[in-house]
Structure 1
Amino acid sequence: MNTANVLSTEVEMVERGCKEVRDYSDVVTLEVEASAIQPAYQSSYDVIYDSAKRYPETIAIHYVEDVEDASKDLKISYQQLLTQVNKAANLFSNLAGEQAPTVSYILPNLPQTHYTIWGAEACGIVNAINPFLEVEKTAALLNSVQANILVTLGPGFGQEQWSKVVALTERVSSLSYVLLINPTGDESLPSLGDVEVLDFDQSLNVQVSEYIFKPRLITPQTIASYFHTGGTTGTPKIAKHTHLNEVANAWNCCLSVPASPGSVCLVGLPLFHVNAVIATGLSAFMKGQTVLLAGMNGYRTAGLLANFWRLIERYQVATFSCVPTILSALIEVPIGEANIESLDFAICGAAPLSPKLMESFEAKTGARVLEGYGLTEAGCVSTLNPVAGERKVGSIGLRLPNQPLKIVVLNDAFEIVRECAEGEIGSLLVKGDNVFPGYLDESKNAGVLLADGWLNTGDLARIDSDGYVWLTGREKDLIIRGGHNIDPGEIEDILMGHPAIASVAAVGQPDAYAGELPCAYVCFQKGQKASEKELIEYVRSRISERAAVPVFIGHLEIMPVTAVGKIFKPEVRRIAMMRVVDVALREAGVTAHVVADADITSDSNLIITSDAAALDVGAVLRDYNIGYTLNEPAVVAENGA
């Protein structure tokens, strides 16, 4: 560990949140100015250690156990956080013996989750697991990383989760220890066969609080963590993060997002996701912020959203990170007598943000909404609308400092043919110390890690004249339902098992609330057919998660395909778009004719012909992230259309 010579008065630049970014030129300026003062962190542990020396009494983690009863709150200072991280590292190191521990965790948003993450990274590798994954997929992940320690909830938190833990110990042979967070403090622990069961908090308490754990040789290139990608459906891939990846992305965020020591960042996103771990975790700690864990279940915590504005006032929250569906829900919650002047901005990502939603939230709260973009493979955050400059609704903003970004044309071998012109749509590539070294299964790296350090995000985008990035499609074809990733492949695989189906394409259809909802289009075998109701029930009875059940399944006589016979999903998406827009307009009483733009690369996905005023059409569609061109019938006639 490089705990020496980390401290520097120049790090005060981080404490001030640096210069507020206004435009692309500020991004370039920050890269130059910050290069001379970047802290010499070699690991995530260095960040925790450094902040404990700079802000020992500042509250690092403020845990809200009950959103309606502040007397149950728990506050952990930076010095206490360092002590707990040291104890966790000592514990994991002692349990693992001669081998470096690989610590998996299946936990909600608790202070112990942070102790686990940073303690495991200090002496080994931490592995975040989504608690909502089914048992078989969770077991496959634990087996892939060869987890020898699992930190999770005890049976007192609920039998459903505990049954999963029992099943995992029967399926993961590498597991030697299960450490339980026990709400009752009961000394009698359940038996799990050959796997030793320990009380996490009690085991932590008996550890030495100083840095004595048997460390691996930690360098910036050492693997710190494993995060799985692919949401809760489909087959997750395991992405490796180095200490350099995590520290670099946290520093990128420091340069882009202003904050001061002790300012409060509310965390409602889950701690198995890189956003809560890096963007509102390690980066917040780097700046000396207070991380407010608002309930163990984050935004799912009972009463959290209903009491949200009172919590903003009570804890003087300055920022929070979320997905668009959270903003939609908060708009419906009355502010009442709550004073929310402390709230500066909300960072929103993971799904498209509609202009109306952004405008409504800002008008209601007076706080700014910053739309951004990121992916696990690039650490966490890669772009963000500027804090102090123009925020272009629908754009994912400017690239972060120290993250080169470009739009290119790739050939079938994933070689860069050329860089795209301004406004031209192409493959979005990013580069920098934040970019991961690859998946644990190296066969998955093909087409992702490109020559000269570039990462192929799998997304399609364009860059405008001001340097703002606009997503235009996803090569990965993931359906993003309210920030929740759904793999269309699982839907397609199930439908292809139906005897009447010849071909199928599952895509996301626009939705005013969730951004996208899963739908599918099918072609039938000759002489076969099935009703929409039958097909939806067929999927529902076989799919691993309700969120992935299509809300609509339609029939196509001919499936759109490319020249080489592959299903052409951009066209299928536009078919879904036309249907959704046509229904929305008809239900609003707007008579219109909706067709797809002949130019598949156009930002105007649809052409709408209507006698209705532009304001009427716009009022119906402003909640949807859809580009369209509105024509009047007379104009169409003059053009001979």
Structure 2
Amino acid sequence: MDETAHALGTAATLWELVARRAALTPHRPVLLQGERRLTFGELRDRSERAAAGLHAMGVRPGTVVAWQLPTRIETVLLTLALARIGAVQSPVIPFHRDREVGFALRESKAAYFAVPGEWRGFDFTAMAGRTGAPGVFEAYDSLPDGDPSALPAPPASGTDVRWIYWTSGTTSDPKGVLHTDRSLIAGGSCLAHALRLSADDIGSIAFPFAHIGGPDYLIMLLLYGFPAVLFEKFALPDALDEYRRHGVTTAGGSTAFYAMFLAEQRKQPGRKLIPTLRLLAGGGAPKPPGLHHAVVREMGCALTHGYGMTEVPMITMGSPDDTEDHLAHTEGRPPAGMEIRITDGEIRLRGEAVCKGYLDPVATAAAFDADGFLSTGDLGHLTDTGHLVITGRAKDVIIRKGENISAKEIEDLLHGHASVGDVAVIGLPDPERGERVCAVVERARDAADPTLSDLTAYLRAQGLAVHKLPEQLEVVDELPRNDALRKVLKYKLRDRYA
């Protein structure tokens, strides 16, 4: 572990971390976007000027400010300006619309709402008006500005709730998750130390900065002092020029991102897609072992995957010095300070990176046990080496004729079939069996539609028990996903095919 990064990770607040890094390496770049370049010193100075402008508008310590902005330099400056004041901020993914935005604004009791104006053909300012949002201001390419000498002292406590994040939408009811500066720093430190990155690396943020992964990644940049390329809009192959131009060494986001990179690599086998790339890393969704091996073999880079959630931004993370078997079949190990307890097969968590609960106190009481461990709803076990293996979601276990079937086990096997681009296995109500196994397949590029007999024969050949074989197959052009890390929304599939 880098000693400087470890020392920086003891900062009480996010703003203290920014100030320490800017003092160490003021002239090193931190944010790259198109032709724009921002150094750590400029990051501190411009954020503080924006904080003074916000303070002049009436933003004070504890004021709730919601923001719905794309991944831009200005967005990072705004979030740090709010951290400098000690405001409570509530990031909202840019793809949400009236219903979700109105819900977040009401539940958080936001006093201000920052929007991008019109972005990608949608008028966010008009939507803010329809939702009755208070204190609306645009923060796409300019921010409030003021004299930092008018600011009060920065916040000293890192354990006060200053962040309200929203669960990612894989269920129909989002929850406001309460975080502190210290819980986010602890999560980002886990990611940073596991990946073994250095000041010579060049990272990338291709997912919405409003996602819980945003501060994870920003904290990693601050701890290790290297820059990242920001992508306001991510699409392949269009984004490849930026990866190549800046010499990105580490990329990723989630399993869906790995699959997209791999699909592009397969268009030009034998020629490395991004010449400087040495590591893909991410989390947020299950990672099939077959996809891991294909990426490493065909893209010529390492792949490390981790486990996190809105409530705990980083729980475990694979490390480049793990064995290939551990990298393919586990989610890595937890950092010091993260306690994992397996209770009746369910993963429970306690540690500094765990959230303080939810906006709804009833939800908080239901989520934590008597010993203060958070119930994740995920199933898994720890290996003898301390690596975590996730076997599925508690709600994702299919009960067929009294037998428990793991959807993830079937999905991992089906990912190896040539006609399968992606797959979600769900349980559907069945009057005879209780539930029947249904495979919803997103067809692979240029592949013929698989048949149920094709897939069951393939699974039999892989040694899957007969009672676990799918009894229904649905082939789709695209699986429904959320807009943050592209997680498959299984509840929509259950509704559609029930």
The normalised TM-score by structure 1 is 0.63
Shift of 1:254: 2.7
Closer/same/farther in 2, CA of residues 578 and 465 from structure 1, 3 Å limit:
farther
Residue correspondence of structure 1 range 414-429 to structure 2 within 5 A: 426-429=345-348
State yes or no: 1:375 paired with 2:313: no
Q: Is the contact made by 2:61 and 2:88 (CA closer than 8 Å) also made in structure 1?
A: no
Closer/same/farther in 2, CA of residues 337 and 559 from structure 1, 3 Å limit:
closer
Shift of 1:222: 1.2
Shift of 1:444: 0.4
Q: Is the contact made by 1:105 and 1:127 (CA closer than 8 Å) also made in structure 2?
A: yes
Q: Is the contact made by 1:407 and 1:428 (CA closer than 8 Å) also made in structure 2?
A: yes
Residue correspondence of structure 1 range 174-185 to structure 2 within 5 A: 175=134, 177-181=135-139
Structure-1 residue corresponding to 2:354? 435
Q: Is the contact made by 1:106 and 1:130 (CA closer than 8 Å) also made in structure 2?
A: yes
State yes or no: 1:85 paired with 2:53: no
Shift of 1:39: 4.5
Closer/same/farther in 2, CA of residues 217 and 117 from structure 1, 3 Å limit:
closer
Q: Distance in 1 between matches of 2:56 and 2:214?
A: 28
Q: Is the contact made by 1:57 and 1:79 (CA closer than 8 Å) also made in structure 2?
A: yes
Q: Is the contact made by 1:93 and 1:101 (CA closer than 8 Å) also made in structure 2?
A: no
Helix, strand or coil: the match of 1:57? coil
Q: Distance in 2 between matches of 1:219 and 1:366?
A: 44
Shift of 1:108: 0.8
Q: For residues 170-213 of structure 1, give each alpha carbon's deviation from its aligned partner in whole angstroms, at most 9, with x where no partner exists.
A: 2x4xx1x2221356xxxxxxxxxxxxxxxx43x33xx12x4642
Helix, strand or coil: the match of 1:370? strand
State yes or no: 1:214 paired with 2:145: no
Q: Distance in 2 between matches of 1:592 and 1:232?
A: 27
Q: For residues 615-635 of structure 1, give each alpha carbon's deviation from its aligned partner in whole angstroms, at most 9, with x where no partner exists.
A: xxxxxxxxxxxxxxxxxxxxx
Structure-1 residue corresponding to 2:437? 575
Q: Is the contact made by 1:102 and 1:145 (CA closer than 8 Å) also made in structure 2?
A: yes
State yes or no: 1:75 paired with 2:13: no
Q: For residues 285-307 of structure 1, give each alpha carbon's deviation from its aligned partner in whole angstroms, at most 9, with x where no partner exists.
A: 2211102103x12x3xxxx4214
Structure-2 residue corresponding to 1:193? none
Q: Is the contact made by 2:425 and 2:438 (CA closer than 8 Å) also made in structure 1?
A: no
The range that moved more, 92-101 or 113-122, is 92-101
Q: Distance in 2 between matches of 1:85 and 1:224?
A: 17
Q: Is the contact made by 2:184 and 2:215 (CA closer than 8 Å) also made in structure 1?
A: no
Q: Is the contact made by 1:94 and 1:213 (CA closer than 8 Å) also made in structure 2?
A: no
State yes or no: 1:342 paired with 2:276: yes
Residue correspondence of structure 1 range 409-558 to structure 2 within 5 A: 409=344, 426-477=345-396, 510=411, 512=415, 516-517=423-424, 521-522=428-429, 556-558=430-432
Q: Is the contact made by 1:104 and 1:151 (CA closer than 8 Å) also made in structure 2?
A: yes
Q: Distance in 2 between matches of 1:451 and 1:78?
A: 43
Structure-2 residue corresponding to 1:246? 184
Which structure's CA Rg is the greater one? 1
173, 193, 197: which one aligns with 1:259: 197
Closer/same/farther in 2, CA of residues 105 and 89 from structure 1, 3 Å limit:
same
Structure-2 residue corresponding to 1:151? 114
Q: Distance in 1 between matches of 2:317 and 2:109?
A: 36
Shift of 1:61: 0.5
Q: Distance in 1 between matches of 2:457 and 2:160?
A: 59
Q: Distance in 1 between matches of 2:165 and 2:397?
A: 18
Q: Is the contact made by 1:61 and 1:111 (CA closer than 8 Å) also made in structure 2?
A: yes
Shift of 1:308: 4.8
Q: Distance in 2 between matches of 1:345 and 1:98?
A: 41
Structure-2 residue corresponding to 1:48? 18
Query: What RMSD over aligned residues (CA atoms) do the two structures have, in Å?
Result: 3.4
Structure-1 residue corresponding to 2:252? 321
Residue correspondence of structure 1 range 182-331 to structure 2 within 5 A: 200-201=142-143, 203-204=144-145, 207-208=146-147, 210=148, 212-215=150-153, 217-231=155-169, 234-278=172-216, 280-294=217-231, 296-297=232-233, 299=234, 304-331=235-262
Closer/same/farther in 2, CA of residues 579 and 226 from structure 1, 3 Å limit:
closer
Q: Distance in 1 between matches of 2:103 and 2:212?
A: 20
Structure-2 residue corresponding to 1:541? none
One-letter amino acid of the counterpart of residue 364, structure 1: E
Q: Distance in 2 between matches of 1:352 and 1:97?
A: 40
Q: Distance in 1 between matches of 2:140 and 2:158?
A: 35
Closer/same/farther in 2, CA of residues 88 and 521 from structure 1, 3 Å limit:
same
Shift of 1:346: 0.8
State yes or no: 1:385 paired with 2:318: yes
Residue correspondence of structure 1 range 100-111 to structure 2 within 5 A: 100-111=62-73
Residue correspondence of structure 1 range 115-154 to structure 2 within 5 A: 115-123=77-85, 124-154=87-117
Q: Distance in 2 between matches of 1:592 and 1:93?
A: 61
Q: Distance in 2 between matches of 1:478 and 1:140?
A: 30
Closer/same/farther in 2, CA of residues 88 and 471 from structure 1, 3 Å limit:
same
Helix, strand or coil: the match of 1:397? coil
Shift of 1:340: 3.7
Shift of 1:270: 0.8
Helix, strand or coil: the match of 1:231? coil
Structure-1 residue corresponding to 2:475? none
Mark the runs of 5 or more structure 2 residues left unpaired by the alignment.
399-406, 443-449, 472-498
Closer/same/farther in 2, CA of residues 129 and 587 from structure 1, 3 Å limit:
same
Helix, strand or coil: the match of 1:281? helix
Shift of 1:230: 3.9
Q: For residues 511-555 of structure 1, give each alpha carbon's deviation from its aligned partner in whole angstroms, at most 9, with x where no partner exists.
A: 746754486634xxxxxxxxxxxxxxxxxxxxxxxxxxxxxxxxx
Q: Distance in 2 between matches of 1:478 and 1:319?
A: 34
Shift of 1:475: 2.4
Q: Is the contact made by 1:132 and 1:232 (CA closer than 8 Å) also made in structure 2?
A: no
